[in-house]
Amino acid sequence: MSELDIESLSKEKRTFAPISDPRAKAYVPDMEAYEALYKRADEDPEGFWAERAKELVTWFSPWEKTLEYDMHKPEIKWFAGGKLNVSYNCLDRHLENGRRNKAAIIWQGEPEEDVKVYTYQMLHTEVCRFANVLKAKGVKKGDRVALYLPMIPELAIAMLACARIGAIHSIVFAGFSAVSLQNRIQDSAAKVVVTADAVLRAGRTIPLKPNADEAMKKCPSVDHCIVVNRAGLEVPMQEGRDCWWHECTHADGITDVCEPEPMDAEDILFILYTSGSTGKPKGVVHTTGGYLTYAAHTTQWVFDVTDNDVYWCTADVGWITGHSYIVYGPLCLGATSLMFEGVPSWPGPDRFWQVVEKFKVNIFYTAPTVVRALMREGVDWTRKHDISSLRLLGSVGEPINPEAWMWYHTYIGAGTKPIVDTWWQTETGGILISALPYATTLKPGSATKPLPGVDAAIVRADGSLAGPNEGGHLLIRKPWPGMLRGVYGNPERYKSTYFQRFPGMYESGDGARVDDDGYFWIMGRLDDVINVSGHRMGTAEVESALVSHEAVAEAAVVGMPHAIKGESIYAYVTLKTGIDESEDLRKALRAWVRTEIGPIATPEVIQFTEGLPKTRSGKIMRRVLRKIAAGVYDDFGDTSTLADPGVVQDLIEGKKDLTGN
């Protein structure tokens, strides 16, 4: 890795000092407090986490040992021997502590008039009922239950019902295909599938049950399928296997009384499949005590969620962000979590701000791709609504380029509200690197600093520590409670993916550098780094430069094979609405990147495109872009997770028009 060019790539110099907490209630009120907590957690991690676990979680019986670990093996145990139940912590205890009639979940369906509010008491009742249904279907502690549902309250209810009886949920995002669902059910040998007749999305009704039917044909482990009636569609129900949610929850003998199962801290809470750089998706395993502690802890410190807040995380519960920051973290704290079924662009690009205004949302957590999409539509849409209730903004999923950050800060945050750019992964269970809202000076595009208790380091390929501003592998050197405990059914892959290359440390797969102030700058997945004439460059940084041009809405950059340079830069660029493609603009953009970053970053090819191949969670499928850039038009691998598979053909046509092959 060449250190110099990475240093020269860091152009961003703006800083934003923290505002003081208007309510003077912040958990980490200033930088001094952060430093003290960081030191404390570093010197005595067991003491620090034991304190947090006792404060945030109600335990049926105490643990024997706070932490036992060997990151070489790897084997990690937090709070082993301690007994607790996640659903008890998210529900029952709030019935006694004054929150019984508080809104736990405010659900806004895609149609404006579809709103449901579940108080903690109401949610408790529904969870107990559904837990009893699962039991009646023969589900026992340790059995797997696949949840293939849209963003409806039943999804949260089913998760908590599994947790209540000790069943392991495996949520499969409803945008996944039948084959993807089938693979995931097979890998975990799920006994029960919970699904819905359809998904409502951008005004359309998309049947879902047929996918589940198709998948279940090849899943002998499945005995039962429970179907939520979301859209009133006619669906074929298989006698003996399928039943309607609204019928089985009110069948004879199903009561709303269900004792929570005492679970060991290290019993599995859930499996969530995530894609690696190669091969089939991995079933990331999270356990009970450490995960819950970590989700609640980070929700409290990073989002500063307090009792009176309306907190909205716009992720889908099908991803880890929804698990930790729509359901488990907020509900463990007794907060009010807004769950939204719709999309940001329908019926208009102001839908999010309309929802913020309607419920007076205080804390708002979304993804950079959303920010860029809304930025592209222009600021007038945000001005249609009173969004002054917002006091804290968050970002997750990919590096947020400084231009998008500035837009978010200026137009959504009124130039004053803190933005927490949170770096973490499915595997980490919760946020590892992030600003703390009232303590950290912000730098647009930097996730800032590791949270207390997170020992993050940047190392070179040979394992030695990288210096300031030198890009390298982002590793975590000590265990934290939320970390994954395995790859389901595949201990070998668990070890080889995360703990082998740098023995004794967790390898995130991301590249990053730390600047002179100790701020972390995530450069993206290491496989997204381009090597031009031996110069290594983060695709994110080139994209960021492109997007900072006034004509550009979005950009994706990949490496393409080059006879002399090894690799050169290929940029896919989406222009803002109303801007025309032209050769002059192409030249202007190349010049722009040259002046923003330097000649080595000049794109060899710029292809204008209407859209980029994005997964439904908003991640750009770079693998596909790399192939097209290289002129390889087949063998794209699994593209079933693309939101709009048609984009691929458009890109191929565009490439051929541009380069003639």
Give the nearer residue to ligand 6R9 in terms of CB position, either 260 or 329.
329
Residue whose C-alpha is closest to residue 188's, from 484, 482, 486: 486
Q: Which residue has the tokens 């390889």?
A: 632
Binding mask 422-441 for ligand 6R9 (x = CB under 6 A): xxxxx---------------
**Cβ distance 61 to 239 under 8 Å?**
no
Shortest Å distance, C-beta 528 to ligand 6R9: 8
Using CB under 6 A as the binding rule, the residues of this chain from 320 to 359 that contact ligand 6R9 are 320-321
- DSSP-assigned letters across all residues of 86-113: HHIIIIIHHHHTT-TTSEEEEEE-SSTT
Give the nearer residue to ligand 6R9 in terms of CB position, either 88 or 328.
328
199 a known binding residue? no
Binding mask 305-324 for ligand 6R9 (x = CB under 6 A): --------------xxx---
Residue span binding ligand 6R9 (CB under 6 A) among the ranges 30-38, 165-173, 219-227, 507-515: 507-515
Using CB under 6 A as the binding rule, the residues of this chain from 264 to 283 that contact ligand 6R9 are 274
Shortest Å distance, C-beta 567 to ligand 6R9: 20
Shortest Å distance, C-beta 316 to ligand 6R9: 11
18 a known binding residue? no
Shortest Å distance, C-beta 7 to ligand 6R9: 19
Pairwise CA distance, residues 225 & 137, whole Å? 10
Given 292, 317, 355, 396, the residue binding ligand 6R9 (CB under 6 A): 396
Given 510, 541, 543, 554, the residue binding ligand 6R9 (CB under 6 A): 510
Shortest Å distance, C-beta 408 to ligand 6R9: 13
321 a known binding residue? yes
- Report the SS3 class of residue 541: helix
Residue whose C-alpha is closest to residue 540's, from 399, 372, 369, 442: 399
C-beta nearest to ligand 6R9: residue: 426
For 162, counting Cβ atoms within 10 Å of its Cβ (0-12 exposed, 13-18 middle, 19+ buried), the class is: buried
- Report the SS3 class of residue 243: strand
421 sits near ligand 6R9 (criterion: CB under 6 A): yes
Q: Is the peptide bond before 153 cis (omega within 30 degrees of 0)?
A: no
Shortest Å distance, C-beta 419 to ligand 6R9: 11
131 a known binding residue? no
User: Could you tell me the two tokens for 322?
Assistant: 């929804």
In this structure, how many other beta carbons lie within 10 angstroms of the beta carbon of residue 425? 18
Would you give the distance in Å from CA 303 to the centre of its chain?
A: 15
422 a known binding residue? yes
Residues paired with 194 in a beta bridge:
147, 226
Contacts of 54 (CB under 8 A, 6+ apart): none
Alpha helices in 167-244 (DSSP H): 178-188, 209-216
426 a known binding residue? yes
299 sits near ligand 6R9 (criterion: CB under 6 A): no
User: Could you tell me the two tokens for 547?
Assistant: 């997007």
510 a known binding residue? yes
Pairwise CA distance, residues 635 & 448, whole Å? 39
Annotated binding site: 201-204, 321, 397-399, 421-426, 510, 525, 533, 536, 547, 549, 552, 594
Contacts to ligand 6R9 by CB under 6 A? 274, 319-321, 395-399, 421-426, 447, 508-510, 522, 524-525
